[in-house]
Structure 1
Amino acid sequence: MQDKFLSLNGLRFHFLEWGNASAPPLILLHGFMDHAHRWDTFSRAMCDAFRVLAMDARGHGESDWADDYSRDKMVADVGAFVNALDLPRVAVVGHSMGARVAYFLAAQNPNAIGKLVIVDMGPELNPAGARRMRTGVLAQNDCASRDEVCDAARAANARPTDEDVWNRVRYVLKARADGRWVWRYDPNLRNPSRRAPPRDPARE
């Protein structure tokens, strides 16, 4: 596994590359407020057959923060990523937010996407599920210790592995000057106005 960075659309993006560069490319897109390392176990399982590329979306992981977190911007980022690496017809796996980005990417670039796998996302979001997710997001602030986050990760997953828990701590948090731990993602991701689609006067 290699940590790499690439400049796209005025931002610096972090991604992880696994496997042989000559193998068929497989792009992995993580969920909301997650990170590329979420795919580590899956990437290890797939890297013998694919060149696995797991991106940190804008505002997530080690990628730059931005002013705009709309779906269209995220779709454009992945399209630019494919072009910058000069990838042939790719397979894409997207989870949650990444799944939504993936199927809009496929709709806009049908000749570039050979295979598409959608995980935990349908055409529409259940309102009750959206409220539950929003409540969980707004409850995430800072924490006193890594142990506190480890306990939360174990409670949130039915069968958490040690790697799941470790990734939760290692890649989602960063230390603050006062010794407390804060989330690595951009706090503005919680602001719905930063994620709204662009305004279309023709529809008004």
Structure 2
Amino acid sequence: MDEFPDGSRWAEVRGLRLHYRVVGRPGGTPLVMLHGLLGHAREWDPAVAELAVTHQVWVLDQRGHGLSDWAGDYARSTMAEDLIAWLEAVGLDRPVVIGHSMGATVVLLAAARRPDLFGRLVIADTAPKTADGQLQAWLREYLQELGAASHGTVAEALALRSGGPRARPDLVRRSVEQSLVRGDDGRYRWRFDARGLVGSLDSVDPAVLWDAIDAISCPVLLLRGEHSLELSPELSGEMARRLGDARLGTIAGAGHDLALENPEGVARAVLDYLAGD
């Protein structure tokens, strides 16, 4: 990742230095985007390029990711407090806030606590459920492996972060390149705090997230990947019912990792949703 990509800014938030980018056309309703676990602001560049034609887009590196500071606490509720404090610090007026996976959970928790800060939400492929025990164990081992790893080449790193079967190789490689930093020894390491993030995997009780969903008062676009194993059609329907003012959308050809599978589809869904109003 470039050390200072175009549009880079920083904000001191709750004792951390958080990096974000601002790109696109000023004026009108701003759009905020939050990435998922092990993601970063730049992985959404293909979507941002389309959104920025008509909107100003603010893309945040959450704590422990991208160019933002690492921390000792990665609970989703803590990250929700970061989002609230960041929105207040940068002075956005009721933006549309788009979150994917981990980022979507953060958005739901934050919007339930501070509805006055949010205009509309786009919640992409997250669900209030407990992950399968085997999946949790695999994720913990995987994060530990990433945290300990160093690589001589980008190709070596790609072997660990190759993406799912529907991920586009060009987007995977670009995201991986932007996720690496070269140390004084010449070897690449991951920018995200993989070991620290282990503790975030089970930091939200599904009941707490359902309570947040029930408390959301603003309009919501709820997106799922067509082939997602994270968010089923049945569960997305129940979420939409309990959200109240919600619309459902499907991202064609995608599973869960929307930024690497069909980011342009996400951008079109968001623009269609906003144009419809």
- Deviation larger for 109-118 or 157-166: 157-166
Alignment partners' CA distance in 2, 1:153 and 1:160: 12
Does residue 168 (structure 1) correspond to residue 173 (structure 2)? The answer is no
Does residue 124 (structure 1) correspond to residue 132 (structure 2)? The answer is no
**Aligned partner of 1:56 among 52, 61, 86:** 61
Cα shift at 1:37: 0.5
Are the equivalent residues in 1 in contact too, given 2:76–2:200 (CA < 8 A)?
Answer: no
Query: After superposition, what is the alpha-carbon deviation per residue over 1:109-141, rounded to whole angstroms, capped at 9, x for unaligned?
Result: 223222112222101133144344334323322
Query: After superposition, what is the alpha-carbon deviation per residue over 1:13-34, rounded to whole angstroms, capped at 9, x for unaligned?
Result: 1001111232311111111121
**Aligned partner of 2:152 among 139, 144, 152:** 144
Are the equivalent residues in 2 in contact too, given 1:61–1:184 (CA < 8 A)?
Answer: yes
TM-score by length of 1: 0.85
Does residue 183 (structure 1) correspond to residue 190 (structure 2)? The answer is yes
Does residue 98 (structure 1) correspond to residue 106 (structure 2)? The answer is no
Alignment correspondent of 2:120: 115
Does residue 133 (structure 1) correspond to residue 139 (structure 2)? The answer is yes
* Structure 1 spans left out of the alignment, 5+ residues: 198-204
Alignment partners' CA distance in 1, 2:91 and 2:156: 43
Alignment partners' CA distance in 1, 2:101 and 2:111: 15
Alignment correspondent of 2:166: 158
Alignment partners' CA distance in 2, 1:142 and 1:4: 28
**Which amino acid letter does the alignment assign opposite residue 62 of structure 1?**
L
Alignment partners' CA distance in 2, 1:116 and 1:193: 23
The CA RMSD over aligned residues, in Å, is: 2.3
Query: After superposition, what is the alpha-carbon deviation per residue over 1:67-115, rounded to whole angstroms, capped at 9, x for unaligned?
Result: 2222222111111111112111111111111011011111112232221
Question: Identity of aligned pairs, percent?
Answer: 31
Are the equivalent residues in 1 in contact too, given 2:143–2:195 (CA < 8 A)?
Answer: no
Alignment partners' CA distance in 1, 2:165 and 2:8: 27
Q: Give the SS at the match of 1:144.
A: coil
* Structure 2 spans left out of the alignment, 5+ residues: 1-5, 205-277
Cα shift at 1:161: 4.5
**Aligned partner of 2:49 among 25, 44, 51:** 44
Count of residues paired in the alignment:
196
Alignment correspondent of 1:9: 14
Alignment partners' CA distance in 1, 2:96 and 2:139: 28
TM-score by length of 2: 0.64
Are the equivalent residues in 2 in contact too, given 1:91–1:114 (CA < 8 A)?
Answer: yes
Are the equivalent residues in 2 in contact too, given 1:18–1:53 (CA < 8 A)?
Answer: yes
Q: Give the SS at the match of 1:12.
A: strand
User: Residues 161 and 49 from structure 1, CA distance in 2 versus in 1: closer, same or farther, beyond 3 angstroms?
Assistant: farther
Cα shift at 1:12: 0.9
User: Residues 195 and 10 from structure 1, CA distance in 2 versus in 1: closer, same or farther, beyond 3 angstroms?
Assistant: farther
Are the equivalent residues in 2 in contact too, given 1:68–1:194 (CA < 8 A)?
Answer: no
User: Residues 7 and 113 from structure 1, CA distance in 2 versus in 1: closer, same or farther, beyond 3 angstroms?
Assistant: same
Q: Give the SS at the match of 1:138.
A: helix
Alignment correspondent of 1:200: none
Cα shift at 1:179: 2.2
